[in-house]
Amino acid sequence: QVQLVESGGGSVQAGGSLRLSCVGSGSPDSTYYMAWFRQGPEMERREGVAGIDGDYNSFYADSVKGRFTISKDNAKNTLYLQMNNLKPEDTAMYYCAAEKVQLQRYWNSARMSWEPMLQSSDFGNWGQGTQVTVSS
């Protein structure tokens, strides 16, 4: 059982930056796949934003690639999401999630690589979320 607590959200202007943190407790395991999801007020489900596996391989949704960076510090049991050049469409509640079971992958022909399928239903451990609001 893993407990996750997010922090670092806030209100910023477009073009600004924020760094989200997620601290884990309750027998953390470095082999867990860690990810960030977000859900805006008009979205019916949580959207996968970025993920990182036990070997530090990272994945990003096309909408945030080049602007967001996911990282983790196993010694501190902490996951991070550095968000730069924020846009109004990034406004959402951001959640961190963890799952021991390996995620399924699919072939992304555009990127010519195997990528994880970030589905909220595949994650069993969640934080309570931190709000990010980006204004024009």
DSSP characters for 15-53? Answer: T--EEEEEEEESS--TTSEEEEEEE-TT-SSPEEEEEE-
Residue-level pLDDT at 28: 63
Residue-level pLDDT at 41: 85
Q: How many helices (H) and strands (E) does the chain have?
A: 0, 13
How is residue 26 written in tokens?
């309750």
Instruction: Tell me the per-residue pLDDT of 23-61, one tens digit each, with 9 for 90 and over.
Output: 999 866 778 899 999 999 888 889 999 999 988 999 999
- Taking every pair of C-alpha atoms in the chain, what is the biggest distance, in angstroms? 42
| Regions of the chain where pLDDT drops below 70 | 27-28
